[in-house]
């Protein structure tokens, strides 16, 4: 197993839309295992394929964030088929968005259809924290970061901060 590099904003790959997984083969299983290791190592609650430079629709998450991995879930080709209500995700952050957190408006509950890593269809009903995690990760598969869901002013301030930081790193 290998730890993968996590792409960070402003990497252009993060704007890509993931393509549906068609072949569930050994190479895909290896990518999934590497994503799982990379997520726990980060440590993070979720990781989407786009974040590691792979454009197949895969996400892994563990909202309980514990190392015994009881709540670890792998989803292929996840689709939100129903979203209800509104909530505010407090202080949301992302492994691909360094040095920044923000409140983000999210749906309160979701129904998701996907495949598990063996290709078996699964349906997930999620609310509260899990619904937020899933919206964040599925956004990644559609090329969307949480900073795309905050006010333009806040986003501009963050962009300026990152530009300045990148310039400093060049020196």
Per CB under 5 A, residues contacting Ni ion are 94
Instruction: Give the nearest residue (CB) to Ni ion.
Output: 94
Nearest partner of 111 among 127, 128, 124, 130, judged by Cα: 124
Residue owning tokens 């979203």: 83
| Tokens coding 44 | 């993070």
Residue 24 or 144 having the CB closest to Ni ion: 144
Residue 18 or 94 having the CB closest to Ni ion: 94
Residue 86 annotated as catalytic: no
Residue 138 in 3-state DSSP?
A: helix
Residue 9 or 127 having the CB closest to Ni ion: 9
Q: Cβ contacts of residue 97 below 8 Å, gap of 6+?
A: 8, 9, 145, 146, 147, 158
Q: Which of 118, 128, 137, 170 is catalytic?
A: 137
Contact 18, 55 (CB under 8 A): yes
List the catalytic residues.
137
């Amino acid at each position: 197993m290998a730890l993968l590099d996590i792409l960070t904003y402003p990497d252009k790959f993060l704007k890509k839309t993931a393509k549906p997984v068609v072949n569930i083969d050994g190479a895909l299983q290896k990518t999934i295992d590497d994503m799982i290791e990379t997520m726990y190592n980060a440590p993070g609650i979720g990781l989407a394929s786009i974040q590691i430079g792979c454009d197949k629709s895969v996400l892994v998450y563990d909202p309980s964030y514990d190392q015994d991995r009881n709540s670890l879930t792998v989803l292929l080709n996840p689709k939100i088929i129903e979203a209800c209500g509104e909530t505010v995700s407090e202080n949301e952050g992302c492994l691909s968005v360094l040095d920044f957190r923000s409140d983000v408006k999210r749906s309160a509950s979701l129904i998701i259809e996907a495949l598990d890593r063996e290709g078996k269809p699964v349906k997930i009903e999620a609310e509260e924290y899990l619904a937020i995690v899933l919206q964040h990760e599925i956004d990644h598969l559609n090329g969307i970061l949480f900073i795309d869901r905050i006010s333009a002013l806040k986003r501009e301030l963050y962009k300026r901060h990152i530009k300045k930081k990148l310039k400093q790193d060049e020196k």
